[in-house]
Each structure stands twice: as C-alpha cells, then as structure tokens.
Amino acid sequence: MGYPDRPGWLRYIQRTSHSDGVLYGSPTAEHVGKATIIEIIAYNRRTFETARHNLVINIMSTEEYPLPYQAEFYIKNMNVEEMLASEVLGDFLGAVKNVWQPERLNAVNITSALDRGGRVPLPINNLKEGVYVMVGADVQFSSCLREVENPHNQLRCSQEMEPVISCDKKFRAQFDIDWCKINLVDINKMIMIHSNRPDPGTGVLPDIGGYNPPPESLKSRDFFADFLITLAVPSAVAMVLFSVLGYSMCCRREGVDKRNMQTPDIQLVHHSSIQKSTKELRSMSKNREISWPLSTLPVFSQSGEVVPPIHPDNYETTSMPLMQTQTNLQNQIQIPQQQPSGKWHS
C-alpha cells in the first residue's frame, strides 16, 4: 500500500486465471519490525464487481533461533506452489531431518528455478520447472550431506553424471534432488563485507502538485511546406532523371544511315554479298525436288512377281560410293506407277 509495486523480497505467482495466486518470499534482517501491508483488489469476471482487502504482514526477528548451518536443495520434480503446500513442505523437512538429525530445523527460503535463470520446461511428460529450498539447522552437516564434496562425486558431477549419495533413497520416493546443485553454507565462517551502499529511499514519489495538461488553444500548423518537401521535391528529381534518360535513349541514337556512313565501303559490299548468297541458298533449298528414299520402295509387286534387284549380280559393290547423289539415284531407279490394269511394272 502506497508503493508502485510489491516489496523486493515478496513474489507472486499464478499459473492460470482460474488457479489460486500465491504470495511467497523471505524477508531479511533489515525488514524486521516493518509492517508490510499488501492491498489486494479483485473483481468478478462475470459481474465485474470489485472487492478490496488489506493483508498485513508482520516481520519478526529470528535471533533467538539461530540457524548457522544452511543447506540449499534443488528439487527437480516440484513447482514452487506445490512446495509451498504445508503437507509437502512438512514431508520434505521430515526427510531432511532423518538424514541430518538436528535439534531445530526450519525452511529459510523457497525460490522458483525460473528466478535463478532456469528455463520454462516443455509441456510434455508433466515436466516441472524445479524449486530451490534452503533449510537451516543448529548442528553440523551430516556425513550424508558431505558425501557430495568428495572428489569422486565432484568428478561425476563434472561429467554430468549423478553422484553416489547413500541417503538419496530417503528422498527418491517423493523428491527428485539434484545432488550436484546442493549448496552447504556455514554462516559462522562467512566473511562479512560491508560496502557503502546508497540509501534506497522510501520508494514513494514526492508530491509535486497536480497534473497540468497543455492548453486547448493550440496554434494550427501549416503542412504545405511539409507537402512540398515530401512530394514535390522527389517528383521534380524524378522528372529530371526521366528527361535525361529519354534524351540519351531517343535523341542520341546513331541510326542506320549514320552507321553506314561510318562503315568502310569494302565491308558494306562484303556484307551485302553474304546476305545475297544466303537468300539465294534458302530459295534454292525450298524449290529443290527430293527423291524417294530406297527404304520406301516396294520389294514385291501386287501380282506376286519379284522386283529385279537394283544392282545386277555382276555389279561391283566395292566400287560403289557410300553416298550417291540425287542424280545417280534418279538414273538408276524410277518410281513405279500404278497402271489401270492393277499390275505394277518396273
């Protein structure tokens, strides 16, 4: 209440619009004795009826319950709202108490893996985002928790393999713990470093008076100059370029006459003779008569008589050229023509 956002130590999560919203967090020693009022405003989605409620959080000191030994576990198969349930958190503290055996044990902090830079899991196989749970106790860490620090398990963690922990079976039934990410902290051995940090202030903006909007009597603006710059100038440049291009393509053409004047006479005569010969050859190729190929001539006549061979037996085929001219073929073979009597004559 009176601030633009929640306190820095307080987080809020709500999976869907129809699920319960959860406020969670762990205040530090500097927040002790300061009452935090959370103003909650809700509305009905059907009737749009609003409701307002103030949640008062009193932060008390824990100096009478010192917990110098703290261990942070990363649970892979839990979400933060599932871990915040009293029965689930009680089961986890009970499992930790069995392997640690402290006189006093309490949860110090619960943080979603997404707040630590984790990724949103794929929506398959009911995967969870994971949650970090820090617990504190008043006795030294047990030998089971110290097993993760031995060189063999450190080597397995560096190779992305699960370390061998003797007490893992006491958690495995309900909680899947990543033992490579466990963090053991002894507050008594920590070196306190004091730094000169600026005073963050109250977080409330100073009162500088009411909002002074601009007057309604604003001067009208002439957009004619903007029109000229935006439309007229590009159009003028385009017209100039069009004129230069049109002059270069239409007015600077040489033409056939000018080309012939600059060409030597011997070259023109040579070119003309080539064109004349080409036209003559094309006209001759269109008018020439083509004789029938030998493959189309009949072998037997319709009367059953055998057509005499083209070449007599005493003709020497060895002296016959491979390709004969059209004149020789016409002299050797005459195309048979059908007689009215229905017989063929060669």
Distance in angstroms (rounded) separating the CA atoms of residues 103 and 77: 28
**Per-residue pLDDT for the chain (346 aa), expressed as one digit of tens each?**
888 888 888 888 888 878 888 888 888 878 888 888 899 888 888 899 999 999 998 888 776 667 888 999 999 888 888 888 888 999 999 999 988 988 888 888 898 888 888 888 777 777 888 899 999 888 888 888 888 888 998 999 999 888 888 888 888 888 989 999 898 888 877 655 545 666 766 666 677 777 777 777 777 888 888 888 898 889 999 999 999 998 888 877 666 777 777 778 888 788 888 988 998 888 888 776 655 556 555 555 455 555 555 544 444 444 444 444 444 444 444 445 544 544 444 4
DSSP string for residues in 123-164? SSTT----EEEEEEESSPPPHHHHGGGSHHHHHHHHTT----
pLDDT computed for residue 345 by the predictor: 46
- Strand-pairing partners, residue 70, are 136, 185
DSSP string for residues in 217-242? -PPP---HHHHIIIIIHHHHHHHHHH
* H/E run at residue 73: strand 69-75
What is the residue whose two structure tokens read 């009215």? Answer: 340
Count the Cβ atoms, other than its own, within 10 Å of residue 161: 11
Distance in angstroms (rounded) separating the CA atoms of residues 334 and 48: 110
pLDDT computed for residue 82 by the predictor: 87
Count the Cβ atoms, other than its own, within 10 Å of residue 111: 20
- Strand-pairing partners, residue 75, are 131, 177
3-state secondary structure of 96: helix
Distance in angstroms (rounded) separating the CA atoms of residues 80 and 113: 8
Helices (H), the chain: 80-83, 86-100, 143-146, 151-158, 169-172, 224-227, 233-246, 255-262, 265-287, 326-332
3-state secondary structure of 56: strand
Residue 265 CA: distances (Å) to CA of 44, 206, 262, 272, 275: 101, 99, 9, 10, 15
Contact 41, 52 (CB under 8 A): yes
Count the Cβ atoms, other than its own, within 10 Å of residue 98: 13
CA 330 to chain centre: 78
CA atoms within 13 A on the CB side of 205: 5
- Strand-pairing partners, residue 51, are 42
For residue 45 the two structure tokens come to 């989605």
Spell out a b/e string for 32-61, using b for 16 or more CB atoms within 10 Å of the CB, else e.
eeeebeeeeeeeeeeeeeeeeeeeeeebee
Note the pTM of the prediction, 2 decimals.
0.53
